[in-house]
Chain A
């Protein structure tokens, strides 16, 4: 049976891994190759690198990092951040990444999804969807749990969550699938950084409206949240950053806890 995947996400800048909460108070957290090897040894199923200060000057540094990771780590890894063209995609894949993830560029230039998918194969095109619930200014924080009957709307955000669009997240998910995305990385802006759980209803609705795999992101605080995302949320994989980076837990511990609750994982 296909295993559910646990994917640590590493933020990188200038060829180094950085840790912080909400992209502030960033501290250097070491060499990407060492970190990647460490997560590989813990049993990570894949890795995602997010270049958080992606600029064209930094591209050479990023490509060098990808090459070094690919020489040492033999599990799949995805690279995202600042990818704008099929030429950017080509360079990153050539350097050794298995997949790329695009968010803002996919919204601004929808053809990039289909062009990338046709040229390099759908399997390497991950479209990242940052979504936030629509709610009146000043209203209380929404409950992000299972609520199949609730009337909820989510809008897509770009530019690292700074820019709201008029795009409905569910419609966007279906459109990017049609345009050739191979996977969706769905991040709840409401849940991100809270460590109080994924937006289960967002995951469930997106997952049930597309046939490509959905990776849950934003809000993981412990394995119970992952369990909910993989069962109620129908996600195929879960991505997490802070719970792994700050040594709270390991990928191996999370997997064991999920296995104890009958989630198929690679142990």
Chain B
């Protein structure tokens, strides 16, 4: 069972529907118990950094998240869910989950912000959740901020939007994409299917 963490007003239905489409057993829940019972966890994310951290805290989810990650359960952060894994963000003042060292910064250039639409990934290192995703694949982005990991070794893909930024990471049981696999057509379904397999193997 994959638990999709519900902590506010986001559209989590599309993540759930895409997971069901690849044959995963998934539920949406805001209960710390469902989180602890899960075989694997997905932290999606829309909205602002501080609102999401508050949403997690108000539901008593911050500690259970850190706990399931520490236990080695597969964990996938999507979009803001990737950013929340880091220590801080220029978008807010509250600390992030600090599961991965690094910070989240805003695009500083003259291009349109947010970046909305399809852009390509350039693979930097093999990562289990991106298995079978060809270099140069198109994926769907909606964001104004991006992660700057302290450790370059965890960067799985980068993407060019005015600058080359980190668009996916992998460290141990923690997987994340800045892009939305649930909206990235066949490539995205491949990523979710990979995560399903990782979850079932755990």
A: which residues have CB within 8 A of B? 1-5, 40, 45, 67, 70-71, 74-76, 90, 93-98, 119-124, 182-183, 211-213, 236-237, 266
Instruction: Flag B131-163 by CB within 8 Å of A: 1 or 0 each.
Output: 000000010111100000000000000001100
Question: Would you call B118 and A213 a contact (CB within 8 A)?
Answer: no
Question: Would you call B9 and A96 a contact (CB within 8 A)?
Answer: no
Q: Which of B11-19, B29-37, B81-89, B169-177 contacts A (4 or more CB under 8 A)?
A: B11-19
Docked Cα-Cα span, A237 to B112, in Å, equals: 12
Question: Would you call A75 and B117 a contact (CB within 8 A)?
Answer: no
Q: Which of B58-66, B70-78, B96-104, B179-187 contacts A (4 or more CB under 8 A)?
A: B179-187
Question: Smallest CB–CB gap between B20 and chain A, Å?
Answer: 8
Q: B113 near A: Cβ within 8 Å?
A: yes
Question: Would you call B161 and A96 a contact (CB within 8 A)?
Answer: no
List the A side residues contacting B20 at CB < 8 Å: 71
- How many residue pairs between the two chains, A and B, have CB atoms under 8 Å in the bound complex? 97
Docked Cα-Cα span, A74 to B11, in Å, equals: 14
Given A2-B161, A76-B183, does the pair A120, B115 have CB atoms closer than 8 Å?
no
Question: Which one of A67, A75, A94, A212 contacts B183 once the chains associate, using CB atoms below 8 Å?
Answer: A75
Question: Would you call B183 and A124 a contact (CB within 8 A)?
Answer: no
Question: Smallest CB–CB gap between B80 and chain A, Å?
Answer: 9
Question: Would you call A213 and B184 a contact (CB within 8 A)?
Answer: no
Q: B92 near A: Cβ within 8 Å?
A: no
With both beta carbons as reference points, the residue of chain A lying nearest to B11 in the complex is identified as: A93
List the A side residues contacting B119 at CB < 8 Å: 1-3
List the A side residues contacting B23 at CB < 8 Å: none
With both beta carbons as reference points, the residue of chain A lying nearest to B141 in the complex is identified as: A2
Given A3-B119, A5-B117, does the pair A120, B185 have CB atoms closer than 8 Å?
no
Question: Would you call A1 and B160 a contact (CB within 8 A)?
Answer: yes
Question: Which one of A67, A93, A97, A266 contacts B118 once the chains associate, using CB atoms below 8 Å?
Answer: A266
Q: B46 near A: Cβ within 8 Å?
A: yes
List the B side residues contacting A1 at CB < 8 Å: 119-120, 160-161
Interface centre among B14, B116, B120, B184 (most CB of A within 10 A): B116
Question: Would you call B117 and A121 a contact (CB within 8 A)?
Answer: no
Question: Would you call A236 and B116 a contact (CB within 8 A)?
Answer: yes
Question: Would you call B46 and A3 a contact (CB within 8 A)?
Answer: no
Given A5-B118, A40-B185, A74-B183, does the pair A98, B11 have CB atoms closer than 8 Å?
yes
Question: Would you call B113 and A182 a contact (CB within 8 A)?
Answer: no
Q: Can you list 16 pairs linking A and B with CB atoms under 8 Å apart?
A: A1-B160, A45-B118, A71-B20, A74-B182, A74-B184, A74-B185, A75-B183, A93-B9, A120-B11, A123-B114, A123-B143, A182-B116, A211-B113, A212-B112, A236-B116, A236-B117
Question: Would you call B112 and A213 a contact (CB within 8 A)?
Answer: yes
Docked Cα-Cα span, A191 to B2, in Å, equals: 49
Q: B126 near A: Cβ within 8 Å?
A: no
Interface centre among B115, B142, B182 (most CB of A within 10 A): B142
